[in-house]
């Protein structure tokens, strides 16, 4: 094969640009500007694999389409690397440090959730938790109210631990489901650090 053949391959690899990104539990799929679609196993990229659904779906196309960036996970993947079949180049040591930092942040968030909210009304507490980015903005009043407000209008004593969890579980508790979105009821309530309890009655 002559050099022009390899030059053509390099051109095809280097000129491909991302137009759209889809991330599922198992795969990363990129739609290119030339109508091609690339799909690779998500496990190739440990940060994406360990990321929560909202973190995976918070992506940005960078470099005029030559790369994709995930700000919440500090992950960058090039379109050229995907086409070649490169997996993550991160070392095990670097990934371990990333996991440790992530766990520290999650613990900090759990401590924030445990802050005393005594004396505050339901909506005062919701407002404060939203400011701390602990309740997604897609949860509107009509979707939060049944889970957290008592008949007297006060915030439930254990309200912080009975907010519908971002990441719910299937009814049998065996697997994680989609994040709770606008208009959908939570499948589980958070009861502690990393723990979920399936509850049918939202008024307890």
- Residues 139 and 182: beta-carbon distance below 8 Å: yes
- Asked if residue 53 has pLDDT above 60, the reply is yes
- Which carries the bigger pLDDT value, residue 143 or residue 80? 80
Residues 78 and 68: their CA atoms lie apart, in Å, by 6
Q: Please indicate, yes or no, if residue 70 is contained in any of the structural domains.
A: yes
The domain of 30 spans: 3-84
What pLDDT is recorded for position 23? 94
Tens digits of residue pLDDT in 176-189: 443 334 344 444 33
Q: Please indicate, yes or no, if residue 45 is contained in any of the structural domains.
A: yes
- Asked if residue 144 has pLDDT above 80, the reply is no
What pLDDT is recorded for position 162? 41
Is 123 found in the same domain as 68?
Answer: no
Is 57 found in the same domain as 124?
Answer: no
Beta bridge partners of 67: 62, 78
Domain count, the chain: 2
pTM above 0.85, yes or no: no
Q: Please indicate, yes or no, if residue 100 is contained in any of the structural domains.
A: no
Q: Please indicate, yes or no, if residue 89 is contained in any of the structural domains.
A: no
Is 135 found in the same domain as 65?
Answer: no
Burial class (CB in 10 A: 0-12, 13-18, 19+), 186: buried
Is 9 found in the same domain as 73?
Answer: yes
């Amino acid at each position: 094969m002559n050099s022009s053949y390899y030059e053509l391959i390099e051109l095809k690899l280097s000129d491909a640009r991302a137009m759209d990104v889809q991330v599922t539990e198992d795969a990363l799929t990129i739609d290119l500007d030339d109508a091609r679609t690339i799909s690779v196993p998500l496990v190739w990229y440990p940060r994406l694999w360990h990321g929560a659904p909202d973190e995976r779906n918070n992506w940005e196309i960078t470099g005029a389409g030559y790369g994709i960036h995930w700000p919440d996970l500090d992950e960058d993947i090039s379109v050229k690397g995907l086409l070649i079949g490169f997996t993550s180049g991160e070392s095990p040591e670097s990934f371990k440090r990333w996991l440790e930092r992530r766990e520290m942040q999650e613990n900090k968030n759990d401590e924030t959730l445990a802050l005393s909210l005594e004396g505050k009304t339901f909506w005062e507490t919701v407002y404060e938790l939203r400011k701390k980015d602990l309740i997604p903005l897609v949860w509107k009043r009509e979707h939060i109210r049944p889970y957290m407000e008592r008949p007297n209008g006060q915030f439930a004593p254990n309200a912080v631990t009975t907010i519908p969890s971002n990441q719910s579980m299937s009814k049998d508790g065996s697997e994680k489901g989609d994040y709770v979105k606008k208009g959908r009821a939570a499948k589980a309530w958070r009861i502690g650090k990393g723990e979920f309890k399936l509850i049918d009655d939202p008024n307890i």
